[in-house]
């Protein structure tokens, strides 16, 4: 009797790449819904359109490179990249911004390097940073939550705004937008207010603006679930949040009027989603355990530096890209001690 030959092991593997990616997608759902609840249909429109575009670009590139389309799309990584990109940009962003962003993410950051597994930079963050530096106006317009809930922003109007880039009649950007907590902190500090005065504003919850806090909490939940499912390890999220909180804490203790509290930093902007969903992108992060810890610490510090002294209100995307840059070097120098070797792992 003849049998097929294959190399060991001969057991059913635990999971597949697509499986992994889909778990991340599930984990994103609660946070995404919370954001949609507070910021309106725009969030969902963004997600749907970005995912659509991302998958489209992926299919396009795979076809151009004459690789199997089915297998590639089956891994869902493009869906995830599109989704994360969508969460980074404000709702009601015009459709061309989505196109450019996802295009850069999938075409330049991913497929020019050979597609899944080869990109040294986080595709979604490349896409986000590209549109951030190219269309700063569109990217700084976060609608204010109350305005949307009270106002007449239906799904239809949202789509209209997104597709045309123009607001419906009678609405004005200045009227419907409100600074996000980080913007507010920055602006007010520039104009000489103290942290204390800023956080006393009625829209602030315990740490940050209430709706951001809620979205953050739900992303945190998703992240913890991912850790529990072992899709991600604790190294990056924990070290990143801890280092962010630590450095924020140090400055906060030094001068609480000028520097916001650690809790504010952790719960504002993209810190939580960044820690659990973005910095953990396995492809572009460091891969050794120690490397991952350093990677997370690096991101935490850079986020703080860019937020506090830099020219952009949030620094998560930049920090991730900057640390992506360092990751190969980190991997090179943080090899674990091999069994039976003394000292470090090299040689």
Ligand X SMILES: Cc1cc2nc3c(=O)[nH]c(=O)nc-3n(C[C@H](O)[C@H](O)[C@H](O)CO)c2cc1C
48-87 footprint of ligand FMN as x/- string (CB under 6 A): ----------------------------------------
Cβ count within 10 A of residue 288: 19
Residue count of the chain, please give it: 347
Among residues 152, 169, 191, 202, the one that binds other proteins under rule CB under 8 A = 191
Signed CA dihedral, 115, 57, 43, 316: sign only: positive
Query: Cβ closer to other proteins: 43 or 320?
Result: 320
What is the three-class DSSP state of 95? helix
Q: Quick one: which segment of 46-54, 199-207, 209-217, 298-306 binds other proteins (CB under 8 A)?
A: 298-306
Distance CA 137, CA 126 (A): 18
Among residues 285, 293, 299, 301, the one that binds other proteins under rule CB under 8 A = 285
Distance CA 240, CA 229 (A): 20
114-133 footprint of ligand X as x/- string (CB under 6 A): --xx-x--xxx---------
How far is CA 208 from its chain centroid?
18
Distance CA 266, CA 273 (A): 10
Q: What is the 3-state secondary structure (H, E, C) of 10-31?
A: CCCCCCCHHHHHHHHHHHHHHH
- With beta carbons less than 8 A apart as the criterion, state whether 297 and 117 touch: no
Q: What letter does residue 118 receive in the DSSP assignment?
A: T
Can you read off the two tokens belonging to residue 41? Answer: 């249909």
Q: How far is the CB of 302 from ligand FMN (least distance, A)?
A: 16
Q: How far is the CB of 55 from ligand FMN (least distance, A)?
A: 27
Distance CA 174, CA 247 (A): 34
| By the rule CB under 6 A, 217 interacts with ligand FMN | no
Binds 68: which of ligand FMN, ligand X, other proteins, none (CB < 5-8 Å by kind): other proteins
Among residues 41, 304, 312, 318, the one that binds ligand FMN under rule CB under 6 A = 312
Query: Cβ closer to other proteins: 16 or 201?
Result: 16
Alpha helices in 165-234 (DSSP H): 173-176, 181-190, 195-199, 210-228
Binds 278: which of ligand X, ligand FMN, other proteins, none (CB < 5-8 Å by kind): ligand X
Range 112-171, binding ligand FMN (CB under 6 A): 132, 136, 139-140
242-271 footprint of other proteins as x/- string (CB under 8 A): ------------------------------
Question: How many alpha carbons lie under 13 Å from residue 122 in its C-beta half-sphere?
Answer: 29
How far is CA 151 from its chain centroid?
28
| By the rule CB under 6 A, 38 interacts with ligand FMN | no
Query: Cβ closer to other proteins: 18 or 205?
Result: 18
Q: How far is the CB of 230 from ligand X (least distance, A)?
A: 11
Q: Quick one: which segment of 44-52, 207-215, 217-225, 307-315 binds other proteins (CB under 8 A)?
A: 307-315
| By the rule CB under 6 A, 179 interacts with ligand FMN | yes
Distance CA 137, CA 271 (A): 22
Residue whose C-beta lies closest to ligand FMN:
140
Query: Cβ closer to ligand FMN: 179 or 263?
Result: 179
Residue 345 sits at φ, ψ, to 5 deg, of -75, -10
Q: Which residues bind ligand X (CB under 6 A)?
A: 20-21, 24, 77, 80-81, 84, 110, 116-117, 119, 122-124, 231-232, 277-278, 280-284
């Amino acid at each position: 009797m003849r049998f097929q030959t294959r190399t060991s092991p001969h057991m059913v593997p635990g999971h597949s790449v697509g499986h992994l990616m889909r778990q991340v997608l599930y984990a994103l759902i609660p946070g995404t819904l919370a954001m949609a609840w507070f910021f309106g249909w725009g969030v969902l429109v963004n997600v749907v359109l970005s995912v659509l575009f991302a998958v489209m670009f992926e299919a396009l590139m795979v076809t151009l490179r004459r690789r199997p389309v089915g297998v590639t799309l089956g891994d869902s990584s493009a869906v995830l990249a599109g989704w994360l990109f969508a969460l980074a940009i404000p709702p009601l962003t015009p459709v061309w911004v989505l196109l450019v962003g996802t295009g850069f993410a999938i075409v330049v950051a991913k497929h020019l390097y050979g597609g899944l597994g080869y990109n040294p930079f986080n595709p979604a963050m490349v896409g986000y940073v590209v549109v951030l530096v190219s269309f700063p106006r569109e990217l700084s317009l976060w609608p204010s939550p109350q305005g949307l809930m009270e106002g007449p922003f239906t799904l239809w109007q949202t789509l209209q705004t997104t597709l045309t880039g123009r607001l419906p009649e009678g609405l004005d950007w200045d009227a419907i937008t409100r600074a996000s907590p980080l913007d507010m902190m920055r602006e007010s500090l520039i104009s000489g207010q103290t942290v204390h005065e800023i956080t006393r504003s009625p829209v602030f919850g315990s740490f940050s603006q209430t709706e951001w806090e809620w979205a953050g909490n739900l992303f945190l939940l998703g992240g913890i679930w991912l850790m529990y499912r072992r899709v991600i390890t604790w190294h990056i999220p924990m070290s990143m949040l801890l280092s962010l909180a630590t450095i924020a804490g140090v400055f906060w203790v030094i001068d609480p009027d000028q520097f916001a509290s650690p809790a504010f930093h952790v719960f504002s902007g993209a810190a939580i989603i960044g820690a659990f969903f973005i910095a953990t992108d396995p492809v572009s992060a460091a891969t050794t355990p120690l490397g991952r810890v350093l990677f997370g610490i690096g991101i935490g510090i850079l986020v703080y530096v860019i937020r506090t002294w830099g020219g952009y209100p949030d620094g998560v995307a930049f920090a991730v890209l900057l640390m992506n840059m360092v990751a190969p070097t980190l991997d090179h120098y943080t090899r674990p001690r091999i069994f039976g070797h003394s000292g470090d792992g090299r040689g």
